[in-house]
Chains A and B, each alone.
Chain A
Amino acid sequence: MDTDRERHRARETAFYLFTQQSLPACKPVLTPGWVIAIFLFMGVIFIPVGLVTLRASHCVVEIVDRYDIDCVPEPSRMDKVSYIQDDSIPKNCSRFMKVHKYMKAPIYIYYQLDNYYQNHRRYVKSRSDKQLLDGQKYHDTSYCQPVESNNNRPIVPCGLIAWSLFNDTFEFIREGAELKVNRKNIAWKSDRGHKFGKNVYPFNFQNGTLIGGGKLNPEIPLSDQEDLIVWMRTSALPSFRKLYGRIEEDLDVDDVVVVNLMNNYNTYSFGGKKKLVLSTSSWLGGKNDFLGHACVFVGCSSLTLAIIFVLLHVKYRR
């Protein structure tokens, strides 16, 4: 009873404070002291964070090799498009990559494409998630235009994204011995488990007159076609990396890795670049100095401002 009344009174008081607009409030006033303290604090937080980030980034060893031009034989360089489209010419190519710093396993292999608009609206929507999960049971694949069906039979997986699957392949040899490349578990688990069906097999894929990219083994269910799964997680920017596999051996300084690659994929018609990237990884991920630099920059500018304000405050103290 008493508590009820008290609660009622408390509510009334609160409402009174509300209507009379006298709710208790803190009034932040930017006094010089506060401003200096805030900037100092920001400096003190951001500089260490930036340095840690930078350090993590510097620990990462990354080797990048652009191969799209060098892998086209001299005579064909004038007309790279007809070279890549001519099936009769062998597309194999060897590259040498020198390790300049000790690389600890696992070493991630990426291929990087530039000027490739995986985020184009026509491209992004040209897929059928339902079909990827349920296969031919699912019929409404109108999103997949223009790669929806061939010879009046549905294509699985349908759509431009799957159709344009990246199909360069890489083999790595060190000192005459082949480096084992682990190509399992390169896609996000959620994609494998929940977006690509375990009982869905490629069907009628790359069967038409126009072949876009890689073919798929019709014996393997989509959920195990990790190349496809990686490819179909469309990138945010027109320049992107995609995971190809992992080398699970350490590479020593001055090791030379010979890369035997099949240069199948056409980026020549639109002037895109192809790069091969070998990279270790830190707890923060790949080599990316940007965040670290930004943090250090912000921290330093805050500190500088703090110092300037201190000087001004000392000089013009009221």
Chain B
Amino acid sequence: MMNSMNVPSKRSTLERKLDKLILTLFGTLFTMCLIGAIGSGVFIDRKYYFLGLSKSVEDQFNPNRRFLVVLLTMLTLLTLYSTIIPISLYVSIEMVKFIQSTQFINKDLNMYHAETDTPALARTSNLNEELGQVEYIFSDKTGTLTRNLMEFFKCTIGGEIYGTGMTEIERGVAERKGIKVQEVPTSINSVREKGFNFDDVRLMRGAWRNEPNPEACKEFFRCLAICHTVLPEGDESPEKIKYQAASPDEAALVLAAKHFGYFFYRRTPTMIYVRESHVERMGKIQDVSYEILNVLEFNSTRKRQSVVCRYPDGRLVLYCKGADTVIYERLVGGSDDLKKVTREHLEKFGSAGLRTLCLAYKDLAPDVYESWNEKFIQAKSSLRDRERKLDEVAELIEKDLILIGATAIEDKLQEGVPDCIETLSRAGIKIWVLTGDKMETAINIAYACNLLNNEMKQFIISSETDAIREVEERGDQVEIARFIKEEVKKQLKKCLDEAQQYFHGVSGPKLALIIDGKCLMYALDPSLRIMLLNLSLNCSSVVCCRVSPLQKAQVTSLVKKGARKITLSIGDGANDVSMIQAAHIGVGISGLEGMQAVMASDFAIAQFRFLKDLLLVHGRWSYIRLCKVVTYFFYKNLTFTLTQFWFTFYTGFSGQRFYDDWFQSLYNVIFTALPVIIVGLFDKDVSSSLSKRYPELYKEGIKNMFFKWRVVAIWAFFAVYQSLVFYYFVTVSSSTSQGSSGKMFGLWDVSTMAFTCVVVTVNLRLLMICNSITRWHYISVGGSIVAWFLFIFLYSGIMTPYDRQVSG
């Protein structure tokens, strides 16, 4: 609840701009009325005796009270010109948007996820066109970019790489280089399980015994099976067992050990039971129990985890696994070849987007262990600073380790994520990753999704520096806050200065900012906010790690309010709700992590990659269509009203209406209503596949090319021009007699003619703004024009059965 915010009601930017347009129209209306009203005050005069102004004249026309005449005429003209305000526009827009969201977005097969039977879901119809103008995407990581599914993918043991799979990133890199990717056939008896996606016959089913270094393999597997804090659950058989782990990584490692033949099946407070196969000879299975003497747990500063265990034969071993940097610092001297080869492998894994862990072990002499254990117990039972003391003690024994190898786990990206991100960034959209995960993981994933690469200049603002840690250890909260703030300020300034140099350079590298939650907390402080915004807006990608849900929302609104750009947040979990609500558009992944995100979102999709369709296809089309609808509405109402306005000048500013009441009211309702809705539904410039292939087209929406004031001005120009043509063509050409009968037209004949011109032209003009014309366009445009003629036929028939017939 602490992180929740008030649910805002969202209106699209286009609609807010539309409000401004309507306000402008009100201004225009007022000006037109004022001109007419002042004219009426000047015009009214007793000399026009035929107007009967000599006695008992109502106020509206009383030449003695010109001010009142002006005022009352103003009101008359207001009703007369009120057609300039397109009231039906809002109704039409709502209809169009409703159909767009319920029929097009919800039923798009390209956004339908067959595996989970989930179609896309537009939960609001307000924001369709906003989807076409997004410039910043804030994405959660776990469950959104990734499947939140760790899989054991590769490993290196004793300088040998095992695992034949290929990650999506490697595939992408290869494709970019133009190398054809060959699908490696999986071996027939490969094991595939959730969490284990490893395929190499050399290690499976005891085949590792024939490898060059079976001893290393043995240690590797034992390390995986013993050095962890996983709890087994359920039946103690390899098929049915479930592992409960603090992180999915750990579970994946234990799972891997199981598949390699080291099946961890039971844990007691002091023992770990492992069913080992093929250890002494092929095919032999034996249960072995290891006594766990000490567990040196994982934390973010140590970045490693160790277990001291005693074999049934009394051998004392320390197994350690951790990040490559910390393990390499603690290796024993010698065997540089192995270290070098393994390091190369680690880099290879890293660039493939895999999460790596190094494994190492160390045999302990009993006496060394005993003396250390005393210190350990002492530290463990100390009351003050226990954590720090434990770390120090661990430091004493975690040294002179022997490297075994490394594991590579794939945090599997969702299908098509790198491609989607690449397409979106080509469309001019900037993607920020906001995650609660630790920095390494976040960076890894950012690499994996093409958000970061080695050519980029990366600014890292982290609270994990020695200086900050030192201050933190002193423990004075006020001091810590002050110090970190100073530090963040310094770093921001430094980065900004450096970034500035890069902007001035012509083809500098792209910039990326990586910042963690603690620093972000201070960087979001009002005094530093501008600096943060300046820096981050100039970076092509931003990664924020270890951020709280509230911070996610703060970052979102920083960009939304500070940069006035259109933002979209996408996430799947409850921790993304505030971010989803804060952004202009919230997108929920309707996936595994419950429904909170979806319930808070405006759109729900099943996969991140559907964002491409949602934005580049639906968003873009909706935007273009609605812009057309709005500008066209503006045009048709202005044209219509202006003919009336020009007429006012020829009626002595009396406020005489040019058009019949019925014409005026039905103009928007019948004669010009349907075609514009058809355009709002069916117009499309390029097909959906082309929109996705050329994402650059999307930039038009970001720049709001179709609803700038310039566009409105062009339409206004056409409206003025056309209304003048209508008015003068009709009045001048009816100034002499019509036909051979010599009879003259009256006021209503002329106005009917003018109205016909307006209806026909305005409807045909619609066809000229269409990029694609379907049958429905023809039907609706033709139908509207026919409706008018039908109407006037019936209407005049009712009013005067044989009206406007030329008599002989």
Contact = CB atoms under 8 A, between A and B. Distances in A.
Whether chains A and B associate is: yes
A146 B651 CA distance: 19
B9 to A, nearest CB: 28
Interface string A211-233: 01100000000000000001001
Nearest to A21: B104
Contacts of A189: 802, 805-807
A67 interface: no
Contacts of A260: none
B772 A124 contact: no
Contacts of A290: 729, 732-733
B776 A23 contact: yes
Contacts of B775: 23-24
A275 B27 CA distance: 43
A163 B54 CA distance: 14
A23 B743 contact: no
B731 interface: yes
Contacts of B741: 281
A195 interface: yes
Nearest to B746: A233
A194 interface: yes
B384 interface: no
Contacts of A25: 682, 684, 772-774
SS of B interface (majority) = loop
A294 B729 contact: yes
Interface in B295-338: none
Interface string B769-783: 011111110000000
B54 A210 contact: yes
Given A19-B103, A288-B733, A188 B738 contact: no
Interface in A230-255: 230, 233-243, 246
A247 to B, nearest CB: 11
Interface string A111-142: 00000111111111010000000000000000
Interface stretch (B45-53, B156-164, B534-542): B45-53
A116 B738 contact: no
Nearest to A29: B771
Interface string A46-70: 0000000000000000000000000
Given A121-B654, A238-B650, A188 B107 contact: no
B168 to A, nearest CB: 28
B656 A235 contact: no
Contacts of A121: 76, 651, 654-656
Nearest to A185: B807
Interface residues of B, number: 67
SS of A interface (majority) = loop
B212 interface: no
Nearest to A120: B654
Interface string B672-694: 00000000001010011000000
Chain A's interface size range is 35 or more
B750 A236 contact: yes
A160 interface: yes
A279 B749 CA distance: 22
A308 interface: no
A285 B650 contact: no
Nearest to B658: A236
A32 interface: no
B738 to A, nearest CB: 5
B57 interface: yes
A276 B60 CA distance: 35
A36 interface: no
A121 to B, nearest CB: 4
A240 B805 contact: no
B744 A117 contact: no
Interface in B449-471: none
A154 interface: no
A307 interface: no
Nearest to B807: A189
A20 interface: yes
Nearest to B732: A290
A119 B807 CA distance: 25
B650 A237 contact: yes
A118 B58 CA distance: 19
Interface string B631-670: 0000000000000000000111011100000000000000
A213 B76 CA distance: 30
A116 B747 contact: no
A269 B49 contact: yes
B51 A286 contact: no
Nearest to B110: A20
Contacts of B56: 146
B802 A285 contact: no
Interface string B35-67: 000000000010111111011111011000000
A270 interface: yes
A284 B739 contact: yes
B57 A146 contact: yes
B803 A190 contact: yes
27 contacts: A19-B104, A20-B108, A21-B104, A21-B682, A23-B775, A25-B682, A25-B772, A27-B771, A28-B770, A120-B48, A121-B76, A122-B60, A122-B654, A124-B747, A146-B52, A146-B56, A185-B807, A188-B743, A189-B802, A195-B800, A234-B746, A234-B747, A237-B731, A237-B735, A269-B49, A287-B736, A288-B733
Given A108-B737, A121-B651, A288-B736, 9 more contacts: A27-B773, A117-B51, A120-B656, A122-B61, A185-B807, A187-B743, A188-B807, A194-B801, A290-B733
